[in-house]
Amino acid sequence: MKIIKLFEKFIDEDKLEQFCKDNLAYLIDAGYSFTLDYMDDDVYDNATEITIFKKSNINNDVASFNLSEIIDDFIPFLLLLDKKWNLLKYASDEVVYFKHEDDDYYNYQSIDDLIYQNDSNIDIEEIRFIEIMVNGRKN
């Protein structure tokens, strides 16, 4: 049974990577990138962390960006991700983690909060990266 579970995990990882490539294509073309980090610890057992960031033109470092730059592509990606994958919550219903340029500043947002912010033109500025935790596909 352990071998079957391990096999299923690798298949899900490949499918998640392909899902991100397909659904973040516009952002990737615009200079953004993503990584998948497979977690295997007590808190996030068998979870995968998706990190989205913008590459700078200098030394391929990470560049800060405003949410308004990507919101029209990010919200549809997030809604589809939520429909097909199990998103882990950081807090009550917040599934998205924003790390800002200031190392001491970060915040969590729910999908509904992001949609509301997009509708009201409220911006989240100086984002260094965005993280979302996924734990397997929905049936």
Per DSSP, the three-state class of 50 is strand
Look at the pTM and tell me if it is higher than 0.85: no
pLDDT in tens, 18-48: 999 999 999 999 999 999 998 877 766 778 9
Residues 6+ apart with CB under 8 A from 42: none
pLDDT number for residue 133: 94
Residues 6+ apart with CB under 8 A from 64: 54, 100, 101, 126, 127, 128
Q: Which two tokens stand for residue 119?
A: 């509708």
What are the b/e assignments for 58-79, b being 16+ CB within 10 Å?
eeeeebbbebeebbebbbebbe
More confident residue, 71 or 124: 71
More confident residue, 57 or 111: 111
pLDDT cut 90: percent of the chain above it: 45
